[in-house]
Structure 1
Amino acid sequence: MAPALTGDLPTAPHNLGGPISKDIFPDGLKTTGQHPPLYDELVPFDQFPRQITGPTVWKAEDYRENPEKWTHTFNEEQVAELSAAADAFLASKTPLTGISKSNFQLPKLADYLHKLRADLIDGKGFILFKGFPVQKWGNHKSAVAYMGLGTYLGYFVSQNSRGHVLGHVKDLGEDSTQIDKVRIYRTNARQYFHADDSDIVGLLCIAKALEGGESDLVSSHNVYNTLAAERPDVLKTLISPIWYFDRKGETSTGQEEYIRTSVIYLERSAAETGIEPRVYTKWDPYYVRSLSRFSDAGIIPPLSAEQLEALKVLEETCVRLSLHMVLDIGDIQFLSNAHILHARTAYTDHAPPKPRRHLMRLWLATPEEEGGWRLPFWDSNEKKRGGIQVDDQAPVAPLDAE
């Protein structure tokens, strides 16, 4: 059966069976995971704005020849502060899954990171850091400093059923054609434009590919405006709650294997804030195309001609409007998943013994009460909203892919 149109809200994870054990979740917080939207909070196409304005609407030509607008190189003082904080954390013997702003002190960088967080959430939505000394520090200290940096931007959430809060984008030789089972980040295949299951995603480059594996990103608000002008029919299809997203078996007990949802949402209204509801995009074509095992069995509808056209036009529009970015060793990219879509070109690794392409990944959550968007989901004000959580799987932070 397809998911119902309405239903009771799930209980927040920290209210399930009493307080969360800090032996399992060291910071006392648990990733809320994937779930359907609040269907009665979804609004029809005619209530969406005709055009989006503001700093979230940017064009590639605004930045392509001006990297100083989106690049920050860590200076010696900032590297020293990150190094000292990482050394102090390592000396404390605290599990990496227990890292937080309180035990990773950055008194000088904190103000800059606070402003950056605001720009990620409500501004252009992306930054590229350079000068992070991964080769000097090695993977363990680099992971500590990277996760510590991330705690100033959001709360880390689990990225898969194994509880990885420190993820690893690396080709593990899995079959990228088996899209109903395999997560594409574990292959060398092209990733089409998509958003991850978190408010902010971070990528730290540990090793580069021989060729390919380069990054593209686009303002989904610029894409929205372009579709509103050129293909309003496609925009209406993307706004309609007729889409099914696969969960690829990463489900807790009793959960559906898929979610019925929209691609483009409007924030829940909040007249008391005086802020116009913003347009939020949640998309990954691999998770839509992988559901043929259910549509072939008549359990969910197959993709319609209108949906297939929307798939095609959305990707083509993203490609046309995108900004290309290359991550070198020691570079860190942070970007918003609310109003940025990102992609990756296919790649080829170096032959052994040279290392394979390797990016450390963070998924970070930004709850409403701390400036996050008012999303039409039951967990919008949970600190660790979103992500992927299977039952009581504890968070883990492996130092390499597994």
Structure 2
Amino acid sequence: MSSADYLQGACVWSGVEIQQNPRWVKVFPPAVLDGIDAAVDKLGEIDWSEVDRDNFPLPGADAFFDDVRDELENGSGMVKIRGLDVSRYSQQQLRRIWYGLGRHLGTPMFQNRRGELMREIKDEGAGVGVKLYGATVDAAGKEFLSSGARTLSPGELRFHTDRCDVVGLLCVRQASEGGVSKLASSATVYNEMRRLRPDLHALLCAPIPRSRFGEEAGGQHVTYDLPVFGVRDGKLTSHFSLTYIENAQLLSGVRRLTGSEHEAIRMMLELAQKHCFEMRFAPGDIQLLNNHVIYHGRTAFKDDVSTGQDRMLMRLWLSVPNSRALPEDHAVLWGDVSGGMPHGGIAQPATPCMS
């Protein structure tokens, strides 16, 4: 098999390599931090949802944000930004800061059917995630949680991607134990599957049934078909969440996966684990991930409210202006598949869902 059959570039990396060469770690320039303070003071008590590039100006920050976006799209696919001292700001100020930074980086997209553009990721207690996102039962009668419900629990999150170009997380507080971020290059997984088992790799380049369970209201179709791997103009997009594949298998009228397809998914997850690395957030850290080329997961965590170590992250879903063009068959999930166009996010009740 020739090298032309494999994905190329900086998005192909192993966990060992990326830990030794943290080219993806960046630090806010002092001028940008000064600009953030000035913008916060100017905003006063404005609601965070009203923040935009005009009322949250960051003079001289364009080159920094261009560098961040370039690393996300043409580099490793991930960035960790350090330097923001979250202890200096109130919770409302942090929301304004984070949304303002998001508006400078791209276009915030809806994260759920309730129209949330920013979501706090924390343990919200038993039953909250089910109430917000829904649950069903599997073939054995056991409760089956949606992906959104799992996010609001302290449990482990399996490798997955979100429905946006870039998912951004600002760490406000970290748990006393666990809550470790696990990151893997989906481009490396793609290449390794193609090298080791081209037969299984081919199955993940073909449509796999998915469910819209717990995701969006107003959808015309409960399920849709989408490959795990898609390539256009030499660039990968891998959209994957096992929860929605598993849920589709519980529905009547949905094609059942073959034994080989199940094997392909298991191998994909095993390769992600083999080539991943782990990273623990510190308060003030910002993690940005290109969902097209990064799988992310999380270890379980334990909070200790008495010491202020109760994990809380602020999440944004962003469509970025330098995003890649996606394969035409990905319009069922992303909407507009043109490069650089706002796409992704969750369809709202008044918005016709892609069919």
TM-score normalised by L of structure 2? 0.86
Q: Which residue among 284, 291, 299 is the counterpart of 1:337?
A: 291
Letter in 1 for 2:245: V
Separation in 1 of the partners of 2:54 and 2:150? 34
Q: 1:136 to 1:195 in 2, by over 3 A?
A: same
Q: Which residue among 234, 237, 246 is the counterpart of 1:280?
A: 237
Q: 1:75 to 1:249 in 2, by over 3 A?
A: closer
Q: Which residue among 167, 185, 194 is the counterpart of 2:151?
A: 185
Q: Which residue of 2 aligns with 1:205?
A: 171
Residues 1:238 and 2:238 aligned together: no
Q: Which residue of 1 aligns with 2:33?
A: 79
Q: Which runs of 4+ in 1 moved over 6 A?
A: none
Q: Counterparts of 1:3-402 in structure 2 under 5 Å?
A: 50-67=5-22, 69-90=23-44, 93=46, 95-174=47-126, 178-180=144-146, 183-241=149-207, 243-253=208-218, 255-267=220-232, 276-294=233-251, 297=252, 299-352=253-306, 354=308, 356-366=310-320, 370-375=321-326, 376=328, 377=331, 378-381=335-338, 383-392=341-350
Separation in 2 of the partners of 1:254 and 1:76? 46
Separation in 1 of the partners of 2:8 and 2:346? 32
- Structure 2's unaligned 5+ residue stretches are 130-142
Letter in 1 for 2:172: I
Deviations 1:193-217 (A, max 9, x none): 1110000011111111121110111
Output the aligned Cα RMSD: 2.3
Is the CA contact (8 Å cut-off) linking 1:251 and 1:257 kept in structure 2?
no
Secondary structure, aligned partner of 2:266: helix
Letter in 2 for 1:315: L
Deviation at 1:224, TM superposition (A): 1.0
Deviation at 1:82, TM superposition (A): 1.0
Indicate the percent of aligned positions where both proteins have the same amino acid: 28
Secondary structure, aligned partner of 1:293: coil
Deviations 1:51-76 (A, max 9, x none): 11111112222221344x22223344
Letter in 2 for 1:372: S
Is the CA contact (8 Å cut-off) linking 2:190 and 2:229 kept in structure 1?
no
Deviations 1:208-229 (A, max 9, x none): 1121110111111111111111
Secondary structure, aligned partner of 1:152: helix
Is the CA contact (8 Å cut-off) linking 1:174 and 1:186 kept in structure 2?
no
Secondary structure, aligned partner of 2:17: helix
- Structure 1's unaligned 5+ residue stretches are 1-45, 268-275, 394-402
**Structure possessing the higher relative contact order (Cα contacts under 8 Å, 6 or more residues apart):** 1
Deviations 1:10-69 (A, max 9, x none): xxxxxxxxxxxxxxxxxxxxxxxxxxxxxxxxxxxx9x96111111112222221344x2
TM-score normalised by L of structure 1? 0.76
Is the CA contact (8 Å cut-off) linking 1:245 and 1:287 kept in structure 2?
yes
Deviation at 1:188, TM superposition (A): 1.3
Q: 1:129 to 1:371 in 2, by over 3 A?
A: closer
Q: 1:384 to 1:371 in 2, by over 3 A?
A: closer
Letter in 1 for 2:315: R
